[in-house]
């Protein structure tokens, strides 16, 4: 649901009265600045937007991201901190590098600290040392996977985190992470406000699954799709090289099937795509296994892509367990399907050759692709511009083909999912030829 116009306002620490150092461009080129009046409409359908304008309705919009002419912080006195949290994702080092270089060269900030191993780095009992960040420390990290700062999962004391921010005299905190990190950022901002501190909290949304609400694209997604596509090519070659060959690939996607659906369209040799948003049955006349048998009898091979969160209903009798971040520990749908496919065809006395591929952790820890390199550069630099202007309680996102400021309260705790009636899934259905795999009644 699109938020109301009042829900998109961005908090500020106070008036921005310091002329930006970016005004003093040494290149001789005029710098383009963005004002808070530059807005990006949230409604992405041109016809619906036109109708709203014609009716004189209030248009909900986000602030456009980018450098402001006046800033809040004095760069010569400012100290900044960066933390990467949660699972690994291609592009984390790109974000770190972009933030450090923009702070150092763009604004002249010299005190930039990397917090080691996520939020643990703020808590004294863990004993993690702070990393000094400067251009020399980040110049060569683009082709490194993971994050030079390290990461961790699980909640930490918000009070102790803010204690550490006070001790370090931090002015801007950059938090790079997924939904759990954005929730923590919101709580940290609450504690900062309660103490009357002037610390900006800026989030950079990180999820390889591309499921952050009100963010149309997240970094790492294109890199994940590129590698997943290679896995599909391998699965297709394996399956087509044997009689009744089956290539089964499990991809990321706890609650949203964007990687599975997009990869299937990027390499259209996939016959079945199973994602959390679309229900399916295993057995029965219209179940998945019957559809797979029909496919094999017709073409002698099949490729299946399954998102990790699909088919969790088949494990409903198991005890629900949670990870350190409070996320439900999903049952392994990939291994489950592998076993069920084997069972089914053994019962039907039909020989198959099944190859199972799970590239998930390899994908998460690889360096970003070229497209994500560029995207991360924009995200990191716009995060710096927002923080320097004294803006807080926001994440820098991408919406309606623009980089924007999204209030943490509008996005945290919500999730974006594949629309069964939308263009992405409808194209998957056309490309795979799969039908509804749910039994009547």
Domain co-membership, 157 together with 249: no
| Number of domains composing the chain | 2
Report residue 24's pLDDT band, with 50, 70 and 90 as the boundaries: confident
| Contact (Cβ atoms closer than 8 angstroms) between residue 386 and residue 71 | no
Q: Which residues contact 422 (CB under 8 A, 6 or more apart)?
A: none
The answer to whether residues 337 and 278 belong to one domain is yes
CB 425 within 8 A of CB 419: yes
pLDDT at residue 118 greater than cutoff 80: yes
**In this structure, is residue 339 part of a structural domain?**
yes
Is the model more confident about 283 or about 3? 283
Judge whether residue 27 has pLDDT over 70: no
32 located within any domain: yes
Checking if the pLDDT of 283 tops 70, the result is yes
Residues 272, 305: Cα–Cα separation, whole Å: 6
Q: Does residue 367 register a pLDDT over 80? A: yes
Question: Which one has a higher pLDDT value, 103 or 324?
Answer: 103
**Is 319 a domain residue?**
yes
- Bridging pattern class, strands 111-115 and 79-84: parallel
In whole angstroms, how far apart are CA 331 and each of 67, 136, 311, 322, 397?
Answer: 45, 43, 9, 11, 31
Q: Residue 440 catalytic?
A: no
CA neighbor of 292 nearest in space, from 302, 283, 284: 302
CATH assignment at residue 30? 3.40.50.450
- 290/197 same-domain check: no
Q: Do 42 and 168 belong together in one domain?
A: yes
Instruction: Tell whether 440 is covered by a domain.
Output: no
Domain that holds residue 58: 5-218+367-411
The CA distances from residue 357 to 139, 236, 373, in Å, are 35, 11, 27
Strands 18-19 and 70-71: antiparallel
**Domain annotation covers residue 235:** yes
Q: Average pLDDT over the chain, rounded to whole? A: 93
Phi, psi torsion values for 337, nearest 5 degrees: -65, -40
Q: Answer yes or no: do 331 and 301 share one domain.
A: yes
One domain, residues 207 and 234 = no
Q: Are residues 102 and 244 in the same domain?
A: no
Does residue 41 share a domain with residue 171?
yes
Span 373-420, pLDDT tens digits: 999 999 999 999 999 999 999 999 999 999 999 999 998 788 999 999
Quick check: is 249 in a domain? yes
* 149 and 240 fall within a common domain: no
Given 209, 281, 358, 372, which residue is catalytic? 209
Judge whether residue 45 has pLDDT over 90.
no
pLDDT in tens, 285-330: 999 999 999 999 999 999 999 999 999 999 977 777 766 666 678 9
Reference 369, options 240, 224, 270; nearest CA is 224
Average pLDDT over residues 171-175: 98
Q: Is the pLDDT of residue 206 over 70?
A: yes
- Whether 361 and 373 map to the same domain: the answer is no
Query: What Cα–Cα distance (Å) separates residue 185 from each residue in 146, 406, 422?
Result: 21, 13, 32
Q: Kindly state whether residue 416 falls inside one of the protein's structural domains.
A: no
State how far the Cα of 373 lies from the Cα of 375, in Å rounded to an integer: 6
Same domain, 190 and 335: no
Nearest Cα residue to 63 out of 405, 381, 383, 410: 405
Q: Note the pTM of the prediction, 2 decimals.
A: 0.92
**CATH code of the domain covering residue 337:** 3.40.50.460
Task: Answer positive or negative: Cα dihedral of 410, 414, 417, 419.
Answer: negative
Query: Do 168 and 280 share a structural domain?
Result: no
Residue 5 pLDDT exceeds 70: no
Domain assignment present for 438: no
Q: Rounded to the nearest 10 degrees, how much is the dihedral formed by the CA atoms of 34, 37, 42, 48?
A: -120
pLDDT the model gives residue 247: 97
Share of the chain above pLDDT 90, in %: 83
pLDDT of residue 323: 67
């Amino acid at each position: 649901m699109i938020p109301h116009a009042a829900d998109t306002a961005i908090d500020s620490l106070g008036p921005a009265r310091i002329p930006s150092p970016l005004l003093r461009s040494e290149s001789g080129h005029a710098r383009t600045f963005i004002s808070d009046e530059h807005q990006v409409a949230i409604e992405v359908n041109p016809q619906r937007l036109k109708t709203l304008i014609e009716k004189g309705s209030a248009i909900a919009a986000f602030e456009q991201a980018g450098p402001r002419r006046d800033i809040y912080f004095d760069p010569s006195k400012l100290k900044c901190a960066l933390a990467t949290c949660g699972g690994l994702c291609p592009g984390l080092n790109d974000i770190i590098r972009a933030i450090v270089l923009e702070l150092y060269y763009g604004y002249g900030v010299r005190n930039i600290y990397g917090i080691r191993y996520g939020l643990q780095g703020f808590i004294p009992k863990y004993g993690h040392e702070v990393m000094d960040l400067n251009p020399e420390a980040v110049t060569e990290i683009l082709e490194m996977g993971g994050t030079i700062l390290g990461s961790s999962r699980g909640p930490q004391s918000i009070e102790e985190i803010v204690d550490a921010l006070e001790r370090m005299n931090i002015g801007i905190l950059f938090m790079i992470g997924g939904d759990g990190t954005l929730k923590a950022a919101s709580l940290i901002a609450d504690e900062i406000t309660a103490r009357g501190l002037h610390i900006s909290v800026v989030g950079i949304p990180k999820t390889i699954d591309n499921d952050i609400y009100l963010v149309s694209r997240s970094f790492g997604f294109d890199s994940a799709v590129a590698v997943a596509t290679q896995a599909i090519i391998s699965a297709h070659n394996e399956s087509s090289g044997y009689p009744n060959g089956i290539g089964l690939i499990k991809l990321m996607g706890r609650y949203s099937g964007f990687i599975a659906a997009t990869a299937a369209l990027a390499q259209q040799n996939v016959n079945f795509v199973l994602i959390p948003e679309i229900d399916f049955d295993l057995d029965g006349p219209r179940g998945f296994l019957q559809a797979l048998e029909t496919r094999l009898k017709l073409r002698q091979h099949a490729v299946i892509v399954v998102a990790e969160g699909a088919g969790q209903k088949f494990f409903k009798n198991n005890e629900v367990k949670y990870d350190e971040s409070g996320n439900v520990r999903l049952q392994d749908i990939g291994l489950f399907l592998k076993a069920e496919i084997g069972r089914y065809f053994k019962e039907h006395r039909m020989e198959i050759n099944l190859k199972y591929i799970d590239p998930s952790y390899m994908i998460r820890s690889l360096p970003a692709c070229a497209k994500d390199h560029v995207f991360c550069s924009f995200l990191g630099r716009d995060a710096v511009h927002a923080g320097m202007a004294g803006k807080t309680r926001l994440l820098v996102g991408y919406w309606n083909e623009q980089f924007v400021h999204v209030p943490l309260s509008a996005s945290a705790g919500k999730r974006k999912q594949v629309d069964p009636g939308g263009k992405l899934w409808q194209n998957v259905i056309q490309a795979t030829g799969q039908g509804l795999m749910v039994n009547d009644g």
